[in-house]
Amino acid sequence: MTLERINNLGLLEARKEFIGCCHCERWATELTNLRPFASIEELIEKAESTWASATEDERLEAFAGHPQIGDVKVLRNKYAASANREQGQIVAAQESVLIALRDGNQRYIENNGFIFIVCATGKSADEMLGLLRDRLRNDRETELENASREQEAITRLRLQKLIEEEI
């Protein structure tokens, strides 16, 4: 899709495309209403500034739109296409690493009330497990900020992929 096409989509269509990049209703609606964008850089800048004003509930809404790292069943079913692109190395990981990721993510949820969010692109399952274990030491407020930064990085990548012809 081109930037010109995004700029010319109807409101519902554009919102749907943006929801696919970040599962936050207000963020997607606001970004839709900020069109037209002159460049991919402007789109990303507006996306990031809109995300920076997200409330905790809006951040949690976005986090809830992700499959759990290491949840192979979810990856293979509900999120097969996008999750396999973003978490492909997880799908090929050793069973022991997947179990450790699943168990660590469960502890993370118990500690923080939301799933472990990490921009998984380019990271091995072992790397993600290390990050998860490190972040399990943090308090909830720190993790809300960490997860928000990771969400922003994921969103940036998804927007760039959405506007493939413009990069």
- Catalytic residue ranges: 66
CA–CA separation, 20 and 18 (whole Å): 5
Q: What is the pLDDT of residue 13?
A: 97
Question: CATH classification of 66-136, choosing from 1.10.287.310, 1.10.3330.10, 1.10.645.10, 3.40.50.300?
Answer: 1.10.3330.10
For the chain, which residues make up each domain, given as ranges? 3-54+162-166, 66-136
**Chain-wide mean pLDDT for the chain?**
87
Residue 128, CB half-sphere, CA atoms under 13 Å: how many?
30
Burial class, 25, CB count within 10 angstroms (exposed 0-12 / middle 13-18 / buried 19+): middle
Burial class, 20, CB count within 10 angstroms (exposed 0-12 / middle 13-18 / buried 19+): middle
Tokens for 126, please give them. 């072992």
Considering the entire predicted model, what is its pTM?
A: 0.84
Tokens for 102, please give them. 């699943």
Residue 163: strand, helix, or coil: coil
CB 54 within 8 Å of CB 24: yes
CA–CA separation, 151 and 93 (whole Å): 23
CA–CA separation, 157 and 123 (whole Å): 14
Read off the pLDDT of residues 73-130 as tens digits, 9 standing for 90 and up. 654 443 334 444 545 445 556 778 888 888 999 999 999 999 999 998 888 888 989 9
CA–CA separation, 121 and 1 (whole Å): 21
